[in-house]
Chains A and B, each alone.
Chain A
Amino acid sequence: MGWNRKVLRVNLTAGTCTPEPLNMAWANDYLGSRGLASKYLVEEIDPKVDPLSPDNKMIMSTGPLTGTMASTGGRYTVVTKGALTNAIACSNSGGFFGAEMKFAGWDMIIFEGKSPKPVYLFIENDKAELRDAAHLWGKTCWETEETIKRLHQDPLTRICSIGGAGENLALFACIVNDLHRAAGRSGVGAVMGSKNLKAVAIRGTKGVSGIKDFPAFLAATTAAKKVLADNAVTGQGLPKYGTQVLMNVINEMGALPTRNHRDVQFEEAGKISAEAMHEKRPTDGKTHLVTNAACFGCTIACGRISKIDETHFSVKNSPKYWGASGGLEYEAAWALGAANGVGDLEALQYANLLCNEHGMDPISFGTTVGAAMELYELGILTKEQIGIEAPFGSAEALCKLVEMTAHGEGFGKELGQGSARLCAKYGRPELSMSVKSQEFPAYDARGIQGIGLAYATSNRGACHLRGYTVASEVLGIPVKTDPLTTEGKPELVKAFQDATGVFDAAGICVFTSFAWTLADVQPQIQAACEGDWSMDKLHLVGERIWNMERQFNLAAGLSAKDDDLPPRLKTEAAKTGPAKGLVNGVDQMKPEYYKLRGWTPDGVPEAATLQRLGL
Chain B
Amino acid sequence: MQKSLHIDPAKCTGCLQCEMACSFEHTGAINPSKSRIKVFDFEHEGRKVPYTCTQCADAWCMNSCPVEAIVIDAATGAKVVKEATCVGCKVCTIACPFGTVNYMTDVGKVQKCDLCGGDPKCASACPTGAITYVDADWTGLDRMRTWAAKANTAAVAA
Q: Which residues of A contact B (CB under 8 A)?
A: 67-69, 71, 96, 99, 103, 156, 179, 204-209, 211, 214, 225, 229, 239, 290-299, 301, 303, 305-307, 323-325
Contacts and interface: CB of A to CB of B under 8 A. Distances in A.
A299 B127 contact: yes
Contacts of A103: 31-33
Nearest to B126: A299
A295 B14 CA distance: 7
A324 B46 contact: yes
B17 A69 contact: yes
B14 A69 contact: no
Contacts of B128: 301
A207 B30 contact: yes
Contact of A69 (B13, B34, B44, B125): B125
B14 A207 contact: no
Contacts of B15: 294-299, 301
Contacts of A294: 13-15
A205 B127 CA distance: 24
Contact of A299 (B17, B27, B44, B48): B17
Interface stretch (B18-26, B74-82, B108-116, B144-152): B18-26
Contacts of B13: 239, 292-294, 298, 301, 303
B97 interface: no
A156 B29 CA distance: 19
A297 B16 contact: yes
A323 B29 contact: no
B137 interface: no
Nearest to A104: B33
SS of A interface (majority): loop
Contacts of A99: 32
Interface in B82-107: none
A294 B14 CA distance: 6
Contacts of B23: 207
Nearest to A306: B46
B45 interface: yes
29 contacts: A69-B20, A69-B24, A96-B16, A103-B31, A179-B43, A204-B33, A205-B34, A206-B29, A206-B31, A207-B23, A207-B29, A207-B31, A207-B32, A209-B28, A209-B30, A229-B127, A290-B45, A291-B46, A293-B13, A293-B14, A298-B13, A298-B15, A299-B15, A299-B17, A303-B13, A306-B46, A323-B43, A324-B45, A324-B46
A209 B17 CA distance: 16
Contacts of B27: 207
A298 B16 CA distance: 8
B12 to A, nearest CB: 9
B32 A305 contact: no
Query: Which of A205, A211, A290, A294 has the most B CB atoms < 10 Å from its CB?
Result: A294
Contacts of A290: 45-46
Contacts of A208: 29-31
A67 B30 contact: yes
A325 B44 contact: yes
A156 B33 contact: yes
Contact of B45 (A206, A211, A323): A323
Interface of B: 13-17, 20-21, 23-24, 27-34, 43-48, 125, 127-128
A99 B125 CA distance: 18
Contacts of B30: 67-69, 207-209, 211
A296 B20 CA distance: 10
B100 to A, nearest CB: 16
Contacts of B47: 291
A202 B39 CA distance: 18
Contacts of A323: 43-45
A67 B30 CA distance: 8
A450 to B, nearest CB: 32
Contacts of A303: 13
A179 B41 CA distance: 12
Nearest to A292: B13
Contact of A225 (B14, B32, B127): B127
A206 B32 CA distance: 9
Given A205-B31, A206-B31, A290-B45, 19 more contacts: A69-B20, A99-B32, A205-B33, A205-B34, A207-B23, A207-B34, A208-B29, A209-B29, A209-B30, A209-B31, A214-B24, A225-B127, A293-B14, A293-B46, A293-B48, A296-B16, A298-B15, A306-B46, A323-B43
Nearest to A239: B13
Contacts of B17: 69, 297, 299
A209 B20 CA distance: 11
Nearest to B39: A294
A291 B33 CA distance: 26
Query: Which of A68, A298, A306 has the most B CB atoms < 10 Å from its CB?
Result: A298
Nearest to B21: A69
B52 to A, nearest CB: 16
A208 B13 CA distance: 22
A301 B15 CA distance: 8
Contacts of A179: 43
A324 B43 contact: yes
Contacts of A301: 13, 15, 128
Nearest to B127: A299
Nearest to B41: A293
A297 B39 CA distance: 12
A71 B127 CA distance: 10
A229 B128 CA distance: 10
A211 B20 CA distance: 13
Contacts of B31: 103, 205-209
A324 B44 contact: yes
A69 B121 CA distance: 12
Query: Which of B14, B24, B31, B44 has the most A CB atoms < 10 Å from its CB?
Result: B14
A324 B48 CA distance: 12
Nearest to A296: B16
Query: Which of B15, B33, B128 has the most A CB atoms < 10 Å from its CB?
Result: B15
A323 B16 CA distance: 23
Contacts of B48: 293
B15 to A, nearest CB: 4
A96 B33 CA distance: 13
Contacts of A205: 31, 33-34
